[in-house]
Structure 1
């Protein structure tokens, strides 16, 4: 059985339909990349999975448990499903350490001591332990994004959602963040990520989904989708990506 199941998901903002019946299955330890033009529904889909947006119809299941609809415990959901945004969203008035330990202590029920030990271990892995007492404005964009990923990982999520996490970074900072995601993928973490980094998607994804106008227009392995796309719209999109030097 698929670990993450999305069934006939619909989402609108007023009269504008954003998601038009998206269905998608992600196996445990799988890395699925969502690609497509801006406005195709990638970010909205991720926000719906984490219940940051309500949905009109459809359902989402994580490990067989429904995480949409009335009565869903959002704290339990967000212990299972972590999300990282392109704009970091670190609390500017809190140190790096406090940013990372806040959710595990408030939502996860960890003691302050255990949460801090876990945070320092995670910071150690990305070479930022020395920044534990620093505030976000003292960090580079790449460092802030890596801290944001560590903050999500501190909850030990079963699924990690990544929403265009390199979009706001200077080009020279992108590599460090992608390397961190590459290591998580090798470690077997189940991930669903929206990205414009086509070369990275080709390297790490087990499945690539091309979204167009709120639907999954085409999906396949990286080799299938990048080398032999079947849909005309997918072909047009990838042609522009190649012309722009992004693949």
Structure 2
């Protein structure tokens, strides 16, 4: 039994099948990176894990509890499984501190003072404590994405899902966001992330899963996937990545 399991998960939008029998197991404290061409199903897969997208078949388990299908307590699930998107999705009318403390106060019932203390500690950690009173439109993209990560961490999740969190950033801002993820990985947070940052995936992940047409075509340790991929389609994908100077 793994900490997080997707067993034969399928997902369709009408006649368009996006996930075709996904089998993926993630151990506690493990970092698994999802790679593959745009449209292969990475983002949809992540969104099924915390029930943002209902699945059509199979099941998803967290600590052996089924967390997919009818009757699942979605609010309880999302307390355990945080997600950060490529678009920052911060509330524009709220300050940084208000964005970070909203869910701990409203969902977890934490006292406002305690929530603010925890939020400030997290903001300090990512170098943004001086921006607590700022509004999102007063921040750079990299700063907004760091706030989005802090907002997810404020719920003290057991699993963190990261969906292409650097794709909307200018290249010079990517490093500051990836540094935070690197630290979280080193501390043992369970992370499942979709990324186009191949060098980062190679460095930080315990395993890498290559998705193709809604299936996990190949999965293994980073050195095996990037250095000696077995599947022809994986080889083709990585050859293009190398040719583009991204690995």
Structure 2 length as normaliser, TM-score?
0.99
In 2, Cα distance between equivalents of 1:65 and 1:151: 25
Q: Deviations over 1:174-229 (max 9, x none)?
A: 00000000000000000000000000000000000000000000010000000000
Shift of 1:114: 0.8
Shift of 1:75: 1.1
In 1, Cα distance between equivalents of 2:218 and 2:17: 19
Structure 2 unmatched ranges of 5 or more: none
Shift of 1:69: 1.1
In 2, Cα distance between equivalents of 1:200 and 1:28: 20
Shift of 1:50: 1.0
Deviates more, 1:67-76 or 1:229-238: 67-76
Structure 1 length as normaliser, TM-score?
0.99
Structure 1 unmatched ranges of 5 or more: none
How many aligned residue pairs are there? 247
- Measured on the aligned residues, the alpha-carbon RMSD in Å equals 0.5
In 2, Cα distance between equivalents of 1:114 and 1:94: 19
Q: Deviations over 1:142-186 (max 9, x none)?
A: 000000000000000000000000000000000000000000000
In 2, Cα distance between equivalents of 1:73 and 1:105: 19
Aligned to 2:58, what secondary structure does the other structure show? strand
Aligned 1:81-160 pairs, distance under 5 A:
81-160=81-160
Q: Deviations over 1:76-100 (max 9, x none)?
A: 1011000000001101111000100
2:18 corresponds to 1:18: yes
In 2, Cα distance between equivalents of 1:57 and 1:217: 19
2:78 corresponds to: 78
Shift of 1:65: 1.3
In 1, Cα distance between equivalents of 2:61 and 2:181: 24
